Structure 1
Amino acid sequence: MDMPLNLRDRTKIFTGFFLGAALLAGLFVSGCGKVQFSENPALSLEFSADTVLFDTVFTTIGSVTLPLKVYNWNAEALRIDEIELVGGSESPFRVNIDGEVGPSVTDWPILGDDSLWIFLEVTVDPSAASTPFIIEDELRFNTNGNEQRVSLIAWGQNAHFHGGLNELNPLPSCDEVWTNDLPHVIYGIVEVDMGCTLTIKEGTQIHVHDGGGLLVFQSTLRIEGELGNEVVFQGDRLESSYVNVPGQWGIEIDFQFETEYGIEEITAQRGGIWLYGGVECTMDYAVLRNGTIGLQVDTTGTDESPALDIRNTIIHNMSAYGLYAQGGTIDGYNNLIYDCGQSTAAFTLGGAYKMDHCTFANYWAEGVRQSPSVLFTDWYEDINGNIQERSLEGSAFNNCIFWGNNYSLTDFDELVVSLLNPPTSPFIRFSAVDVQDPEFPMGILEATLTDNTPPFASTSDRDFHLSSNNSLWDGVASQFAIGLDLDGLPRAIGQPDMGCYERQQ
């Protein structure tokens, strides 16, 4: 009697001639050891990896091949109904299973407690304008109606790629410098490790993949843009249809927790740039656009040295927040934050914020916005349900504009504060805010307009220059030495204008 051959004995890697397919077909239909295939949909396959990453960077057109091993740890044999590339014949990836090549193969047998090699190839043309920074597809397995997928990822352009498949991907050196010789692409969460420094030079273009971002953990980030040569953070989709799409990037962290109904999983969003214990970070002439939360600053810094000094920076088109601070310390001026699905800025859990000549203008048009343009809080509820206060003492906002397209609603304020213990002195001075709530703590305001619509040049074109020469929009001398506005034009001496732009006479 012929003994059935083991599938491992028949699988040969790159032998030059792939005869396995014919051999397998004969094996499973002949002889007295005929194999019975289980049709149980509860039985599943396992894989050597849930994601196959082709991390070769091509400067010219090229190909690379990587293996994937499929395991059937069940006692019963299975017939895989279909193995296919979701992208089909248009996919840049190719599949080779025991010599059978194609975007899909059908009715593939795998014995119980056995395995199968699959070889995956990708061809990349980095010179093609249509090639994305990150090429993606999925390999789909359908077994008795049970669908399983393996992700396929390849670097598509000639660029500097940072990150990988790990939950956190520390930078390779502790004193890293990114320059503008090539685009930089962040995949996953890239970490500036404790005590280290990342410097990003003028003109550098950073493209961040969905769910990814830059974590600055008790370390230092220095963004050194220049007027007309800004450092830009945005998504990695190059199609014209993605130019103004929010929510394309930003750190996402999955959490599992047990409930009475079983294990639940949630995804928490964090800043695309997340300063967690940032040490003397600086950001000058940067542009952050089309993310979820542009910039997050958490519980950091000292009175002598802020966690972040942010100047001449534009943050816009974020699906949640432009700037999200939790007990942070921030200095800044000449910043423009606009068009966010929730708030342009949320200063929460107390902190110390000193900001002059900033324009917070929320004209979000992607849906109904329920949050104010700017929010301040000085408390939080701990895990035991107790209210904890954290002061805003030492904060100061001068010559700022807090506004948005919901200012005309009678039951809506574009500046909302929830303060248990307001600072002893006014911390919003010579500014313009939208406030209608009769219970608003007016003592935090000094010489501030509360019902005058800023004369922006064109909100439809998102031009937030002031078009009126009315002296109402004159401010007061800044707490910083500011000679120029966001355009690089001179500020008036003594009574500079509110907002990030100075009117030029």
Structure 2
Amino acid sequence: MHSLLYIAIIFFVILGSSCRKDFNFEDSTGNLSFSKDTVYLDTVFSTINSSTYGFKVYNKSNTDLQIPTIKLAKGANSYYKLNVDGQAGESFTNTPLYAKDSLYIFVEINVPNTKVSDFLYTDAILFDSGSNTQKVELVSLVKDAIFLFPTKFENGTTETIVLTLEESNEELTKDGFTLKEDNLHFTASKPYVIYGYATVPKNETLIIDAGARIYFHKNSGILIKDNASIQVNGKLSADENLLENEVLFEADRLEPSYTNVAGQWDGLWIEKGSTNNTINYATIKNASIGIYINGKRESNTTTLTLSNTQIYNSLQTNIYALNSNIEAYNCVIANAGYASLQLKQAGTYNFNHTTIANYWSRTYRTGTALQINNTSTNNTANTLEVNFTNSIIDGNATNELLLIESPSSPLSFKFTNCIIKFDTKVTSNLYNFKDELHYTLPYISAETAFANPLKNSFKIQNNSVAIDNADKNNALKTPLDIKGNNRTISPDIGAYEFTPNN
């Protein structure tokens, strides 16, 4: 027993001594290596923190080193901030770096509000000094913008607005503010960055010029009040990548990693009583609900005219419409966490040459691309009239059309020359595709052949059933497609005409 104890003591003494090491650090002498020689922090707005970017510093030698200094070239005046191996600061001394080891350095930028136009801001991280100096360059494009935000009061509270959910009468209190007269015209001269809900007050109109860029912080949006309206006056762009003449609505994180992150901002909220809203040549992306629109069921006035517009990648729904009157053509309403398009309770909806698709793949999706539902919780008789012509209803689920009819009010709907993704094994009078009262020349689960639906590219390819199968009389109502291509000869179904260079 004693011998075993003796052996154990000897073992732990040897083990302890073998783990000890007296490190004799030598100063680095310009012999460091880096995973990047330049860190590009992409585009940021002034006053908004960037994402955090990182790189590695390597000691590839067999000697334990210490880096005498790591610092920003512009020192305390730099807009960049550093974190070296878990420690935040602007300057670091005698940082150890063991042989054959590495350390992480993280960088972010926050530029104070500036009056200048877009500019390139640069700095460098310096390692050591004198003849031993090594550096990693830092580069960011900083965009100036017009910032709109709620008032913060002396007691620490923030100006708020109230949103009312029609179906449940629930009221949501949000940070928000009323747009003043001098802010009711958005131009293309500078981007706009909105914090909270920018509210268009009663009897006023928000006018947005072609080429305007509107960016939203988290939990932000635009609210159009009763008797107010929004007019989005985008135009056809020559460059489909730049979309220089379209009006863009998206979140204020411009880094590539945020390009397709849904739910970064709330959306456009059109309140009951708002009419004569027009949106032409716009892109609305990465919202929670792209457009929430609540009309007055007794009104015959058009609530919204939507044309040549793309709404996609919403966390919940791209368009959620209640009791509204919508005229839409040449639109792409695609990819959402629940449903692409929801039309509910009452109203009149006319969609011509519209592509409605849902290829959402980020999470499990229970909704269909298109949902039409005239029921209500209080059993109100709801007159819902819906017409889809020359449109595509498609997606990656078996069924992409859901019709729900109130026991007290029959649905009034008609699909003319539409491609509809649907499993014909489902038996219901609502889906009797031979019933010409509701369906004329339907193409059930036909090949749409989209270019790349997972990346929101819904141009049709040369094997699409959509080619030449649109109803010509309805096509003549919108003689140009969403890209300005002529569709008067042999029109195609959907928002896009097929062209050989698609």
Short-chain TM bin: 0.5 to 0.7
Is the 1:308–1:329 Cα contact (8 Å) retained in structure 2? yes
Q: Are the aligned partners of 1:283 and 1:311 in contact in 2 as well (CA < 8 Å)?
A: yes
Which segment is superposed worse, 479-488 or 364-373? Answer: 479-488
2:372 matched to 1:376?
yes
Kept after mapping to 2: 8 A contact 1:291/1:319: yes
Deviations 1:60-91 (A, max 9, x none): xxxxxxxxxxxxxxxxxxxxxxxxxxxxx999
The Cα offsets for residues 199-235 of structure 1, whole Å up to 9 and x where unpaired, read as 0000000001111100001211000001111000000
In structure 2, the partner of 1:248 is 264
Q: Does 1:458 align with 2:452?
A: yes
CA contact (8 A) 2:420 2:443 kept: yes
Return the TM-score normalized by structure 1. Answer: 0.61
Mapped pair 1:289 → 2:299? no
- Following superposition, the deviation at residue 176 of structure 1 comes to 1.8
**Residue correspondences, number:** 339
**What is the SS of the residue equivalent to 1:350?**
strand
Cα RMSD for the two superposed structures: 3.1
Q: Does 1:429 align with 2:416?
A: yes
Give the secondary structure class of the aligned counterpart of 2:160.
coil
Q: Give distance in 1, aligned partners of 2:466 and 2:315.
A: 33
Match of 1:325 in 2: 321
Which deviations, in whole Å up to 9, do the C-alpha atoms of 1:136-155 show, x marking residues without a partner? xxxxxxxxxxxxxxxxxxxx
2:164 is aligned with 1:177: no
Distance 1:175 1:58, change over 3 A: closer
**Mapping for residues 256-295 of structure 1, pairs under 5 Å:** 271-295=267-291
Q: Distance in 1 between matches of 2:198 and 2:113?
A: 26
Residue aligned with 2:181, SS? coil
Q: Compared with structure 1, are the counterparts of its residues 315 and 472 closer, same or farther at alpha carbon in structure 2 (3 Å cutoff)?
A: closer
Q: Does 1:207 align with 2:215?
A: yes
Task: Determine the structure 1 residue equivalent to 2:474.
Answer: 478
Residue matched to 2:202: 194
Displacement of 1:419 after TM fit?
Answer: 1.2
Cα distance in structure 1, aligned partners of 2:418 and 2:200: 36
Q: Tell whether the 8 Å contact from 2:449 to 2:464 is kept in structure 1 after alignment.
A: no
Residue in structure 2 matching 1:449, options 438, 443, 447 = 443
- Equivalent positions of 1:353-364 (< 5 A) are 353-364=349-360
In structure 2, the CA distance between the partners of 1:125 and 1:303, relative to structure 1 (3 Å rule), is closer
The alignment partner of 1:427 has SS state of strand
Mapped partners of 2:77, 2:357: distance in 1? 43
Aligned match of 1:396: 387
Indicate yes or no: 2:476 matched with 1:490.
no
Q: 1:158 aligns with which of 144, 148, 164?
A: 144
Cα distance in structure 2, aligned partners of 1:123 and 1:239? 15
Flag structure 2 segments of 5+ consecutive residues without an equivalent.
1-44, 48-75, 82-88, 91-109, 123-141, 151-157, 162-176, 238-244
- The answer to whether the Cα contact below 8 Å between 2:374 and 2:411 also exists between their aligned partners in 1 is no
Q: Which runs of 5+ in 1 are unaligned?
A: 1-56, 60-88, 95-101, 104-121, 132-155, 251-270, 408-412
The alpha-carbon distance between structure 1 residues 123 and 288, as it changes in their structure 2 partners (threshold 3 A), is closer
For 1:331-370, what aligned pairs fall within 5 Å after superposition?
A: 331-370=327-366
CA displacement at 1:446 relative to structure 2: 2.3
Aligned counterpart for 2:427 among listed residues 415, 438, 452:
438
Quote the Cα distance in structure 2 between the aligned partners of 1:301 and 1:423.
15
Contact between 1:281 and 1:308, CA under 8 Å: does it hold in 2?
A: yes
Q: Distance in 1 between matches of 2:78 and 2:298?
A: 52
* Alpha carbons of structure 1 residues 456 and 199: separation in structure 2 relative to 1, 3 Å: same
Code of the residue aligned with 1:234 in structure 2: it is E
Cα distance in 1, alignment partners of residues 475 and 324 from structure 2: 19
Alpha-carbon displacement from aligned partner over 1:171-190 (angstroms, at most 9, x marks no partner): 11188211011110111111
CA 299–123 in structure 1, closer or farther in 2 if over 3 Å, else same: closer
Cα deviation code 1:360-380 (max 9, x no counterpart): 111111111111111000111
**AA partner of residue 470 (structure 2):** G
Q: In 1, are the aligned partners of 2:466 and 2:493 still within 8 Å (CA)? A: no
Contact 1:492–1:502 at 8 Å: present in 2 too?
no
Provide the rounded CA distance (Å) in 2 between the counterparts of 1:123 and 1:504. Answer: 45
TM-score, normalised via structure 2 length: 0.62
* Alignment check: 8 A CA contact 1:309 1:330 kept: yes
1:174–1:193 Cα contact (<8 Å) kept: no
